[in-house]
Structure 1
Amino acid sequence: MVENLDLLAAKMAQKIVKEDSGAKELDNLVTKTLGVLQENGVYACLLFLFSRSDREEVRARGIRNALLETLNHAPLKTLQLSLPGDSKTWTWEFVSKQLLEDVKLFDDLDALFLVKELYEQTLIYARYGAKAAKVESKGTR
């Protein structure tokens, strides 16, 4: 059971990087996502990731699923922010309804800022992880 939020951010960032083979493209999308999160907040960040299509869709799904999975880990689980089901059932309509109406994440500013900070740290670690993967892939050629 992970209780340290920084450790949770690091583990989720590793998951994002490990599940994606295109380090350059991942770095680019994570950087864009981080910018949306920092400028517009959690809701806009998730909406941005759900709105990706074509080349970015699979990569965006991996990022958003990792971010949403953090809500199901301790200590966030004690805040009752968990999403039911698994990532295969997490459509935009479902996630939006859960976060706005059922979990009411946006009604609790403390929880919202905690989630934003966790997402930000996760994306920062994923960005550095993708950059490290780019350097490693150049060195092995």
Structure 2
Amino acid sequence: MKYGQEISKIHNSNIENNLRKALENNLRKALGVLQKDGVYAMFLWLEGKDKEIRTRINELLNNNEIKKYFFDNNSADRFPDDFSEFCKELQNVAEDIDKLFFMKKILERTLTYALYHVKVGKNDKVGENNVAKT
């Protein structure tokens, strides 16, 4: 959820509506590519269309609590920022289907949360321990 919020803040909530719509559109398309064509296809699409989203997702995957599920003692200890190096590490993850499905699930949830945060858009504090007033 935290990284979904971070991705939604790529463009400040005070920005023009068309930039927010563009971010929402890119998140929706990235989620569609992920669900239809898989993890690698989504990262490849993001590399060409919205590197900032890919960078934020890379930060998520390099979080200590998450990366420990993807790396063993014989491989790198993080996903590199360089796309070709990132793809090599992604290939290593893909050798274990359980790790790949786990990654896909994390990415789907993160993009979904980011999409909802962008849709709310005007309230940066949504999801940050605020209680709705009725």
- Would the TM-score normalized by the shorter structure come out above 0.5? yes
Name 1:75's counterpart in structure 2. 65
TM-score normalized by structure 1? 0.72
**Deviation by residue 1:11-58 (Cα, 9 ceiling, x = unmatched):** 111111112242111100000000000001100000000122xxxxxx
Which residue is equivalent to 1:7?
Answer: none
TM-score (norm 2): 0.75
**1:40-119 superposed matches below 5 A:** 40-52=37-49, 60-81=50-71, 82-83=77-78, 90-100=81-91, 104-119=92-107
**Aligned pair 1:125/2:113, yes or no?**
yes
Q: Please tell me the root mean square deviation across aligned C-alpha atoms, in Å.
A: 1.8
Letter in 2 for 1:77: K
CA distance in 1 between counterparts of 2:54 and 2:35 reads 15
Q: Deviations over 1:73-109 (max 9, x none)?
A: 2432222444255xxxx23212112222xxx110011
Unaligned runs of 5+ in 2: 13-18, 72-76, 124-134
Identity score, percent: 35
Structure 1 unaligned regions, length at least 5: 1-9, 53-59
Larger Rg: 2
Aligned length: 112
